[in-house]
Every structure is written in C-alpha cells, then in structure tokens.
Amino acid sequence: MTKSTADQTPPLVARRMDRVSSFLAMDVLSAAAAKERRGDSVIHMEVGQPSASAPRAAREAAKAALDLGRIGYTEALGIAALRERIARHYRDAYGVSLAPERVVVTTGSSAGFVLAFLSLFDAGQRVAITAPGYPAYRNILEALGIEPVVIPLTRADGWIMTAKAVERAHAEKPLHGILAMSPANPSGTMIGSKALGELGATCRRLGLWFVSDEIYHGLTYGEAATSALASDDDAVVINSFSKYYCMTGWRIGWIVVPERLVRPVERLAQNLYISPPYLSQVAALAAFDATEELEAVKAAYARNRTYLLEELPRIGIADMHPVDGAFYIYADIARYTNDSIGFCKRMLEETGVAATPGLDFDPIEGSHYLRLSFAGSENDCRETVERLRGWLR
C-alpha cells in the first residue's frame, strides 16, 4: 500500500530539513527539565539566559501599556521612538552617527537573522561562518537554501575570524558574505577593533556582505566591544535586548541595515510577522534607562567569571578559549572524552549539572568541548564546581 499524496513530504523540503540539526542546548534544557520533574536537583549551566529579571523600568512600562487596554500592530519596522533611541545608542556607545530609518526592530535577533539572510542572499549563495559558532546560523542558512561555509577558528589566530581566513576561503570558491560574532557564543572571545576593521575592509574589497552579530555587546570584562559600524557603514549589524538587557522571553531585537536595504527588509517583515510585539517594544524603550540596574547584573557575571576561571583549572578543566565577554566558558575536555554529547548526558544524570556539548557549536572539534554558562547565581557556580570536583577524578 502506498501513502496518499497528502501524506507524502515533498522531496525538496525533506532534503533541506534533513540538513537542519537540532539545537543541542535546548535538548539539554528539555532533559534537565525532565530530571527536575522527577524531583532531582539541577544546576542550569546549559542555556545562554540571564537569571536576572528584565529591568524594573521595562516591566513597569509594559504594565502601564497593558493597562491602556489596546495592544495592536505597530509599523513593521518598529515604533519610531524605539528606532530613534537605538540610533542614539550607537552615537553614545560607539560614536557612530546613524539615521533612525536604518534601524529595524525585530522579533528577537532570530527574526533579524532571517530578515538579513533573505534580503542579502539568494538560495545557493555561500556565507562564511565560524566553527565553533552559534548553531542557529548554520541551521537558518540551511533552512533558507543558503550554503554555510565553515571557517575553523584556530589558537594561532586567537580563536577569531580573521581577514586572511576570509580571503583564503573566498579564493578557494567565491563567497557572497560573512557572519562574524563578537563577543562570541560559545566562547565569549572578542574580535578587537583592528581585526574587526580588517574584516570590514576585506569584505568591501572582495564585494562581500558583512553581517556582524553584536548581541553580547555591553557584556565585556575589559576593553569595550567595537561595533562593525564604526569602521564599515555598509555592515549589517544584529543585536537584541535578550542578553545585556535580560529580556530573552520578550523576543525583541533589532538590525541596522544600509539605507538601500530598508524597504526590501520592510516588505519581508510585513509579510513574515507583520510587526514586532508592541508590549515588548515599549519595555525595550524603557530598558535603555536601566543602566545602573543592568550594570549590577553584569558585575555579578564578572564575579562568576573570576571564580570559574580560578576554580575550573583546579578540578581539571583548564584549556579554555579567551573569555573576554558574554557569559560562557568554552572548554576543551579531551582529557576526559571525545564524545561531548555522551559526557554531558552522564554529567547531567550523575551530578545534576546541565552543560551544552561542544558539538552544538562545532560538528567536528566540538566532540571534545563543552560550554558552561555563568549567567546564573554565584551559588550555582560554586555548587557546580563542588559537584564536578569528585566526579571528574
């Protein structure tokens, strides 16, 4: 008996979706939640989510808007006041003069990536990303029929994407764009202003689009991060209120695009999701006035970072990428395993510590890496070290 036509998946869709991997961090989160439902204790070090609440000003602004009763659509590109405030942020933080019309408010940075990729690249074109790197880049590109070209990061290059590496990849087979992230996920490693400028200059010379993921800006522990827009006005920059502003579940972010892309992006946004959520936009606007509260949260991350960088080597986790920003540690665990998925599964089952396997970020070398998030409490970090101290021996 054959399946009916209605039951059959079109072959093209099936082949494309087969290339879209699961997001292992979310799979670990599901397993950890199941363990908690059984009554077991779990320390969540797997997801990149601030443990702090959204700023008080943001919550109060959303409540006030909700009390007005009518929560409706906004312009597809976002409310004017928020776009203007984001543009002002670039002037204040980076010294970059930016027309508010170039700011596109999005439903989280995830929607920003979809809008950027669809407006910049045609199916079959090639975009360079890094390994290790945020897995959704690869998976979104694959889902859209765009080819991700992996540039492996190396210790010799300081674990960052370099202009020379982009040139080599382009010479092997032409690229159409690159995507760089600083500070990076999974490592927190930052691309310095000089190297970032070289990436932008190389893209302009080679005729490539430069997409810069700056979602962890504001979360650095030494030198401040530099925006790609400071050296390349044509860069497409993606950011979000999820990380520094502690607003993950509000699903609100933004992209900055060259003027000639504003209308194409607007047409896509109108059709894909109509507009970003109104309440989240109102809250995001207020979050810009919560600097004191947000800097206190960042100071807690800094204490967690210092503690883990001191204590993890003492229990056998010593080889890490530079933790310049964000709230992650990406560590080589080759002395223990070459199966990071199995290792993290056993660690969760036997110690109650949830961590993300490196294979989420690097399909090859990630087999002997894991990522720990220190966005939780200081007590969580201390308890993690104590639980792993005996287990790793």
When pLDDT is cut at 50, 70 and 90, the band that residue 1 belongs to is: very low
Q: Domain ranges for the chain, please list them.
A: 15-53+292-392, 56-289
Task: Give the DSSP H or E segment for 237.
Answer: strand 236-240
Quick one: CA torsion of 22, 46, 183, 220, rounded to 10 degrees? Answer: 160
List the single range of 42-56, 91-105, 263-277 with lowest mean pLDDT. 42-56
pLDDT, one tens digit per residue, over 16-29 is 666 666 677 788 88
Is residue 7 scored above 70 in pLDDT?
A: no
Per-residue pLDDT at 70: 85
Per-residue pLDDT at 2: 47
Q: Is domain 56-289 in CATH 3.40.30.10, yes or no?
A: no
Q: Which residues are paired to 371 by β-bridges? A: 330, 356
Within 10 A of 390 (CB to CB), how many other CB atoms are there?
9
DSSP for 166-229, written as a single string: HHHHHHHS--SEEEEESS-TTT-----HHHHHHHHHHHHHHT-EEEEE-TTTT-BSSSPP--GG
Q: What is the mean pLDDT of the chain?
A: 94
DSSP for 31-66, written as a single string: HHHHHHHTT---EE-SS---SSPPPHHHHHHHHHHH
List, in order, residues 6 or more apart from 289 with CB less than 8 Å away.
57
Distance CA 38, CA 35 (A): 5
* Contact between residue 224 and residue 192 where contact means Cβ atoms under 8 Å apart: no
CATH of the domain spanning 15-53+292-392, picked from 3.40.50.1820, 3.30.420.40, 3.40.640.10, 1.10.10.60: 3.40.640.10
* Contact between residue 362 and residue 368 where contact means Cβ atoms under 8 Å apart: no
List, in order, residues 6 or more apart from 329 with CB less than 8 Å away.
187, 188, 305, 308, 309, 312, 320, 323, 371, 372, 374
pLDDT, one tens digit per residue, over 178-229 is 999 999 999 999 999 999 999 999 999 999 999 999 999 999 999 999 999 9
How many separate helices (H) and strands (E) can be counted in the chain? 13, 13
